[in-house]
Amino acid sequence: MGSNSLHVLKGINFSVKEGELVAIMGSSGSGKSTLLNILGMLDELDEGSYTLDGVPIKNLNETKAAQYRNKFLGFIFQSFNLINYKSAAENVALPLYYQKVGRKERHEKAIKYLEQVGLKQWSSHLPSELSGGQKQRVAIARAMAAEPKVLLADEPTGALDSKTSYEVMDLIQKINDAGNTILIVTHEPDIADMCKRIVHLKDGVIVEDKVVEQVRAQQYV
Amino acid sequence: MFDRDIWQEIIYSIKNNKLRTFLTGFSVGWGIFILVLLLASVNGMQNGFYLQFNDDATNSIFIRSGNTTKAYGGFEANRKIQYKNDDIEYIKKSFPEDLEYISARYYANTVARYKSETGSYNIQAVQPEYQIIEKTIVTKGRYINENDINSKSKVAVIGRKVKEDLFNTEEAIGEFVEFNGLPFRVIGIFTDDGDDNAERSIYAPLSTFQGIYGNTDNIDNIALTYNPNYSLTKALAFSNRLENLFKRRYKVSPEDQSGVRVWNYAEAFSDISSFTGVLNVIGIAVGLLILIAGIVGIGNIMVFTVKERTKEIGIRKALGAEPGQIIKLVILESVFITAMSGFIGLFFAWVILAIVGPNIQSPAFANPSVDFSVVFTATVILIVAGVFAGLIPAMKAANIKPIVALRDK
């Protein structure tokens, strides 16, 4: 935006293998959100390259970017970002709608994923009738509905109390156990410790990239 | 287009902005309402005009004479032009292709008397074909025929009013009426759609009156109809040829407007057509201008809707909505609101026309209505208008960057 460019990320070289659960940590201004936006194809990189599942991601027009996002990525946001006039099932089915999946199949899949996050009986409820933790679980179901290559979570527990946070982390860990690749941006060390690898960003560079012993969230639930 | 999800969203959006949608929808409905009423009014005027003119055959031409105003061909100005019987034969011979019916007219005034009743009337001494040119409806008896002309019979076809004045309820056919002391047998009674005055006149054979009034072959003017298949241009060309011929025949300057006067119905008709045509254009223009105000209103609420839903559109884009799908959503909503309110306006206009239309009976206004093509055009206009109203907001929506929309903090 604007004519002044500000280099937020200054030479980052890192790769994530399939099945990893990576926490990206850093204080505000460290560039962690920018990194996530680039990974999420919400922002474009000016230098360097980004390859996702063998596909080079560059010079995408809006339509192409939308298709790639739909196919490759699932987003989980701090503020859930559910559409408030759609039921839980309809929210989960939305990415499938953009894949032009038929209405019936969409609904079946949505129910399946809601069941995975333990909210099957809430499928016809509106987001306003759900608690924060439930909303985030619906959002996770939505992110998974399109069966993406990577789940990107931006402070997924930022708006939740610690008990609910652990419940959500427990869910994320289970999804990861099933073989899904997940990247989590967080500034909470306890959340980061529940991942398998922690990448520390500071002023746009990686200062630390370590594999950690995963703390299971199950024990706090 | 018939995607349930899209309609669900449109209905949600309208439900959430009921008042705003109603107010702007109202302006579009109002625009269409006025457009239709204006067009219907112009149509009513047109019908009224045609009804007025329908009295005579619409393909008729009248050739009249007067005094010349210019010296020409060795004659001084202010010469009276007098047509004669042989002018009729001359036209018949000169324009066998163009001519349909022709009749000379000779005018006289008379005091008519039957028993003790008297009255003063115009007599038009004519030839049999005049009945068709004037569209005279004979309700009883018959019109003048060739026999009457050949034998110079003293017969008369009288108007309904004349019959009422002189005969009251008595039988008139076969009775003798005195015109200036001469007995004429009544052979027919006629009515006229045009007006009551026309029914206060009398038709008699041309030859009879020419004989009575000085054994002349003078005629006052000539009425004729041309080939009914002629287009307006062809009809005007024909009347021009007639005029030129008569001016040459009577040695009247081509620039002289008063010696020979040819009056073509088609000309008057075309004037009215262009007049109502102009009114039509004005009606459409005014209606469209009002409609534009409504369309801008729709565009306005769409801009607001998009602004309010910025975040939601951002979420959708993050989930994989393509710009085209977002544009479709916004435009469809706009078209839906525009079309719905337009149809409501159309419906109300139609109801008013159906109730009021048949009750208006004034000479210059009859049966105001809009035909299917107007309704169809209005529908197309509405849909196109809806697309235009939605276009800018839709582009705006499509350009929303998910990264901006999703900024929580």
* Residue A11 domain flag: no
CA distances to A41, A68, B168, B323, B351 from A61, rounded to whole Å, are 11, 11, 94, 10, 51
What is the pLDDT, as a whole number, of residue B185? 94
Of the candidates B321, B401, B408, the beta carbon closest to that of A98 is on B321
Of the candidates B312, B319, B402, the beta carbon closest to that of A98 is on B319
* Residue A182 domain flag: yes
Question: What is the tens place of the pLDDT at every residue in A96-146?
Answer: 988 888 889 999 999 999 998 888 999 999 999 999 889 999 999 999 998
Question: What is the tens place of the pLDDT at every residue in B65-99?
Answer: 989 998 888 888 889 989 998 999 999 998 888 88
CB contact under 8 A, B5 and A43: no
Beta-carbon count within 10 A of B233 CB: 10
Determine contact: A135 vs chain B, CB below 8 A. no
A167 to chain B nearest CA, in Å?
22
* Residue A162 domain flag: yes
Contact B390, B333 (CB under 8 A): yes
* Residue A48 domain flag: no
Closest residue in chain A to residue B324, using alpha carbons only? A63
Place of tokens 């998974």: A144
Contact B267, B238 (CB under 8 A): no
CATH number, domain of A81, equals 3.40.50.300
Q: Which residues of chain B have pLDDT under 50?
A: 1, 409
CA distances to A55, A142, B34, B353 from A72, rounded to whole Å, are 10, 13, 54, 60
Chains A–B, number of C-beta pairs less than 8 Å apart: 59
* Residue A52 domain flag: no
Token duo for residue B236: 């005007």
- When divided into structural domains, chain A yields a total of 1
Which residues from chain A sit within 8 angstroms of residue B317, using beta carbons?
66, 69
CA A165 to chain CA centroid, nearest Å: 15
* Residue A1 domain flag: no
Of the candidates A40, A63, A70, the beta carbon closest to that of B323 is on A63
* Residue A170 domain flag: yes
Mutate one of B17, B309, B319, B327 to test the A interface: name it (highest A CB count within 10 A).
B319
Place of tokens 């990239």: A209
Which residues from chain A sit within 8 angstroms of residue B406, using beta carbons?
42, 77, 81
pLDDT band with cut points at 50, 70 and 90 for residue A2: very low
Determine contact: B5 vs chain A, CB below 8 A. yes
pLDDT band with cut points at 50, 70 and 90 for residue A199: very high
Contact A182, A175 (CB under 8 A): yes
Of the candidates B316, B323, B403, the beta carbon closest to that of A62 is on B323
Interface predicted TM-score (ipTM) over 0.90: no
* Residue A8 domain flag: no
**Domain boundaries, position A191:** 21-42+57-220
Determine contact: A67 vs chain B, CB below 8 A. yes
Question: Does the pLDDT at position A1 exceed 60?
Answer: no
Instruction: Name the residue among B269, B264, B231 with its Cα closest to residue B60.
Output: B264
- The average pLDDT across A10-27 equals 89
Contact B43, B359 (CB under 8 A): no
